[in-house]
Chains A and B, each alone.
Chain A
Amino acid sequence: MYSYDDFDEAFVRARVATFREQVARRIDGSLTEEEFRPIRLMNGLYLQLHAYMLRVAIPYGTINPVQMRQLAMIAERWDKGYGHFTTRQNIQFNWPELRDVPDILDALADVGMHAIQTSGNCVRNVTADHFAGAAGDEIEDPRPTAELIRQWSTDHPEFLYLPRKFKIAVTGSPNDRAVTRAHDIGLRMLRDADGAPGYEVIVGGGLGRTPMIGKVIRPFLPKAELLPYLEAVLQVYNLLGRRDNKYKARIKILVHETGIDEVREMVEAAFVLKKEAFPGADPDLVAAIEAAFAPPRFIEGLMYAPLKGKARVWATTNTAAHRHPDYAIVTVSLKAVGATPGDATAQQMRVMADLAERFGHGELRVSHEQNVILPHVHRAHLAEVHEALLEAGLGAANVGLLSDIIACPGMDYCALATARSIPVAQEIAAHFEAREREIGPFKIKISGCINACGHHHVAHVGILGLDRAGVENYQITLGGDATESAAIGERPGHGFPAEALIPALDRLVQRYLELRRDPSEPFIDAFRRLGMTPFRDALYPDGGTRDAA
C-alpha cells in the first residue's frame, strides 16, 4: 500500500502543530467557539451529543496492521477502548477530550494517518471497493486512482470551500461494491475497445434528504485525463452550486435543476481549458503510486482440504472469490448479534491486525458496510482464521444476511439524529438471527435522520428514524439497491412506532418467504418481479396510506 513520502509527513505534522496551537488558543479563550468550530471540523473533530468525536480518515478503506494497532492504542489510551467503523470507510472515536486531540493526531501521523478533510465542505475521504486488489471480478485495482485523487484533493486551494461536502468513490469491478452511483462523483474503471484503461464518470448521485442516482456525464474518460476532468467538474460545481441553501447545495441538485446535458457541456468546455494548463498527473508519480499497490507474492502450491463444520458455514457467507484460485477474501463481520454495528474493541483490532500479518499478507480493508476485510487469505488458512475470529468475538457468520445491518450512530451519539438506530439494529438482528440463513441475502440499512448516513435509501429494506411529536417513528422503504443496478427504495406507506417495527418486518419477511420462486431468489429479485403491492399489503394488513407518515 501507499506510504507517506517526506512531503506527506511534513504536511501532516505541520497541520497537527497548527491545530495544537489552535486548541490551546481555544482553551485559553483566545478563540471563541464560533471561530474554533470550522477549524476543528477541518481536522475531523466534531462535538456530538455526549462528547467530542474524532473522525479519522482511512483512505479508500485500506489500512495495514501497524495502523490498526495504533488505532487500538488510541482507543485504549484516549477513548473508551473501542472505535466505530463508518459507512465512509473511516473510523470514529466517540469520547476524546479536547486537550488530547493534538496528541491523538500526532499518534496517527506516526503511522501515516490523519483526520484532515473528514469534515467540512471539501473533497472528503475518497472511498473504493473494499475488495480492491483482490476481487476475482476486478478489471483493475481502483486504489491507485483513489490515492491519486487523495493527493490531488488534499488541501487543494480551489476546492476547500465548496458549496457543500463532496464525496468521490471508485470501483475497479463491474460489480459495484463502492456505491458509485450514490456519490457526488462515481468512477467505474473500464477499458475501451482497444483495451485502453479509463473511467465511466458518474455525477450527481447522493442520498440524504433528496436521494438521487448519479448520471453518466462521460461514458469513457481516458485514464491519463482524470485529474483535469475532475477539476473541470469541481470548477463548474464550485461556481454554480448553490450557497444560499445548504439543503440544495450538493452537486446532485445542480445536476437535477440544470440537467445533465447542460452540466456536461459546461464541464467539457472547462475541461478543454484545464487540459491546456494541466494535462494530467505526472506519469512518474502515477507509476510510483501504482507500484505501491502491487499485489503481494501469493503462496503457490500449498495444499488445502475442504472446510468442515462451523468454518464451512462461516465461509459460505464471509468469504468471496479472490483473483487467485487458492485464495479467498475474508470479511470479518462487526455485526455480532447484540453488538453495535461497526464497533470493534481495541483487542479485536489487534486480533485483526495479527491475522492480517500471519495470514493476510499484511493487508486490511474497511468496508462501507462497516465490516473489516482480510483481502488475501490462502484457503489453507481459513480454518485457523475462523477459529481466531471466533475466540475474539468476531466469528459472526452473517455477511450479506439480514443481521449484517448498516446502522448510523443515530441519536445515541449524533447531534443531527432524530431517532435511534443502534438499538433498532440490535433488536432486528436478535429477532431474525435464527432464521436468517433460511431468508437468504437481505440488506437492511438504518439511518437515524434524513441525512442518510446509514444508506437506507439503497437498502433492500431501508429504515429511517424520525421524530413524530417527540416519539421515535420508523419509515420503511423497499427495493433500494446499492450496486451497479442502483435504485432508490420506495415508501410503501406510513411509518411505524418502534414497538411495531419488528412485527411489521416479520410480516414482510414472511410474505417474501411465501412468494419467492425458490430459496435462490433473493428478496430484492422477488421485489422486482412482484412489485410493491404484495409487500405493502404485508406491512399494512389493515391498509396503509402512502402519505400518512
Chain B
Amino acid sequence: MWRVPEMAGFVVTANDLLVGDVIYLTPAQGWTRRLREAAVAPDAAAGEELLTEARRQPARAVGPYLIEVAAAADGPRPTVLRERVRASGPSNRPEHGRRPEDL
C-alpha cells in the first residue's frame, strides 16, 4: 500500500498534539518529523487507506490529511507551496521550523 519515500505519491501529514509541529505518518504507522521517512502511497486510494489509519491515532496527531508529493533527489517533495513551507519551516526564520535533530 505504500512505496519507498523517494517515489511520488501521497503522504499523510498532521500536527503533533503536544508540540504542534509538522509530522508525517511512517510505514510502521508511527509518526516522524522527517518527510523523507514518511510512508508514500502510490495513489489517492492508497493514500485514503493511510489516512484512515492515521485517524485511529487522535491522541498523537491533530487534523491528519493527505498531501501530494513528487519524487526528488533527497526524498519526497510536496507539490504545493504550503506543504513545502510546512516541511521546511518559515522562510523568514527557517531554523525555527525544524528541530536540530530533524534537519
Which residues of A does B touch, CB under 8 Å? 26-27, 29, 32-33, 47-52, 80, 94-99, 340, 411-413, 417, 419-420, 422-423, 426, 467, 470-472
Please, which residue of chain B has its CB at the minimum distance from the CB of A48? B20
Contact status A426-B92, CB under 8 Å: yes
Can you identify 24 A-B contacts, CB atoms within 8 angstroms? A27-B17, A29-B58, A33-B58, A33-B63, A47-B15, A47-B62, A49-B85, A49-B86, A50-B20, A50-B21, A50-B22, A50-B86, A50-B90, A80-B93, A80-B96, A95-B20, A97-B18, A98-B19, A412-B85, A412-B91, A417-B82, A420-B85, A467-B81, A470-B79
A-contact 0/1 string along B49-89, CB 8 Å cutoff: 00000000011001100000000000000011110011001
Contact status B58-A32, CB under 8 Å: yes
C-alpha gap A436/B93 in the complex (Å): 26
Interface size on B, residues (CB 8 A): 24
Residue B97 is within 8 A (CB to CB) of chain A in the complex: yes
Collect the chain B residues with CB atoms within 8 Å of residue A340's CB. 92-93
Collect the chain A residues with CB atoms within 8 Å of residue B93's CB. 80, 340
C-alpha gap A95/B62 in the complex (Å): 16
Contact status B62-A99, CB under 8 Å: no
What's the minimum C-beta distance from A428 to chain B, rounded to whole angstroms? 14
Please, which residue of chain A has its CB at the minimum distance from the CB of B22? A50
Collect the chain A residues with CB atoms within 8 Å of residue B92's CB. 340, 412, 422-423, 426
Contact with B81, one of A26, A48, A52, A411 (Cβ below 8 angstroms): A411
Collect the chain B residues with CB atoms within 8 Å of residue A33's CB. 17, 58, 62-63
Collect the chain A residues with CB atoms within 8 Å of residue B58's CB. 29, 32-33
Collect the chain B residues with CB atoms within 8 Å of residue A413's CB. 90
Contact status A50-B89, CB under 8 Å: yes
Contact status A47-B20, CB under 8 Å: yes
Please, which residue of chain B has its CB at the minimum distance from the CB of A340? B92
Contact status A411-B82, CB under 8 Å: yes
What's the minimum C-beta distance from A416 to chain B, rounded to whole angstroms? 10
Collect the chain B residues with CB atoms within 8 Å of residue A48's CB. 20
C-alpha gap A32/B61 in the complex (Å): 11
Collect the chain A residues with CB atoms within 8 Å of residue B59's CB. 29
Contact with A422, one of B20, B81, B91 (Cβ below 8 angstroms): B91
What's the minimum C-beta distance from B22 to chain A, rounded to whole angstroms? 6
What's the minimum C-beta distance from A419 to chain B, rounded to whole angstroms? 8
C-alpha gap A422/B21 in the complex (Å): 20
C-alpha gap A340/B96 in the complex (Å): 14
Collect the chain B residues with CB atoms within 8 Å of residue A420's CB. 85, 91
Most buried by B among A32, A52, A80, A96: A52
Interface residues of B in 16-37 (CB under 8 A from A): 17-22
What's the minimum C-beta distance from A29 to chain B, rounded to whole angstroms? 5
| A47-B63 contact in complex given A27-B17, A27-B18, A97-B19, C-beta closer than 8 Å | yes
Most buried by A among B15, B58, B79: B15
Collect the chain B residues with CB atoms within 8 Å of residue A98's CB. 17-20
8 further A-B contacts with Cβ under 8 Å, apart from A50-B90, A97-B19, A470-B79, are A29-B58, A50-B21, A50-B96, A51-B19, A95-B96, A422-B91, A470-B80, A472-B81
Collect the chain A residues with CB atoms within 8 Å of residue B20's CB. 47-48, 50-52, 95-98
Contact with A99, one of B18, B63, B91, B97 (Cβ below 8 angstroms): B18
Please, which residue of chain B has its CB at the minimum distance from the CB of A412? B90
What's the minimum C-beta distance from A65 to chain B, rounded to whole angstroms? 27
Collect the chain A residues with CB atoms within 8 Å of residue B81's CB. 411, 419, 467, 470-472
Please, which residue of chain A has its CB at the minimum distance from the CB of B15? A47
C-alpha gap A50/B102 in the complex (Å): 14
What's the minimum C-beta distance from B93 to chain A, rounded to whole angstroms? 8
Contact status A49-B22, CB under 8 Å: yes
Please, which residue of chain B has its CB at the minimum distance from the CB of A417? B82
Contact status A49-B82, CB under 8 Å: yes
C-alpha gap A32/B81 in the complex (Å): 29
Collect the chain A residues with CB atoms within 8 Å of residue B91's CB. 412, 420, 422-423
Collect the chain A residues with CB atoms within 8 Å of residue B90's CB. 49-50, 412-413, 422
Most buried by B among A412, A413, A422: A412
What's the minimum C-beta distance from A87 to chain B, rounded to whole angstroms? 17
Collect the chain A residues with CB atoms within 8 Å of residue B21's CB. 50-51
Collect the chain B residues with CB atoms within 8 Å of residue A411's CB. 81-82, 85
Collect the chain A residues with CB atoms within 8 Å of residue B18's CB. 27, 97-99
Please, which residue of chain B has its CB at the minimum distance from the CB of A97? B19
Please, which residue of chain B has its CB at the minimum distance from the CB of A50? B97
What's the minimum C-beta distance from A104 to chain B, rounded to whole angstroms? 13
C-alpha gap A423/B88 in the complex (Å): 15
Please, which residue of chain A has its CB at the minimum distance from the CB of B80? A470
8 closest A-B pairs by CB: A412-B90, A51-B20, A52-B20, A422-B92, A340-B92, A29-B59, A49-B86, A423-B91
What's the minimum C-beta distance from A94 to chain B, rounded to whole angstroms? 8
C-alpha gap A412/B88 in the complex (Å): 10
Most buried by B among A96, A98, A99: A98
Collect the chain B residues with CB atoms within 8 Å of residue A95's CB. 20, 96
Please, which residue of chain A has its CB at the minimum distance from the CB of B90? A412
C-alpha gap A48/B63 in the complex (Å): 11
Collect the chain B residues with CB atoms within 8 Å of residue A472's CB. 81
What's the minimum C-beta distance from A279 to chain B, rounded to whole angstroms? 47
C-alpha gap A412/B89 in the complex (Å): 7
C-alpha gap A27/B19 in the complex (Å): 11
Collect the chain B residues with CB atoms within 8 Å of residue A49's CB. 22, 82, 85-86, 90
What's the minimum C-beta distance from B14 to chain A, rounded to whole angstroms? 10
Collect the chain B residues with CB atoms within 8 Å of residue A417's CB. 82
Collect the chain B residues with CB atoms within 8 Å of residue A52's CB. 20
Collect the chain A residues with CB atoms within 8 Å of residue B85's CB. 49, 411-412, 420
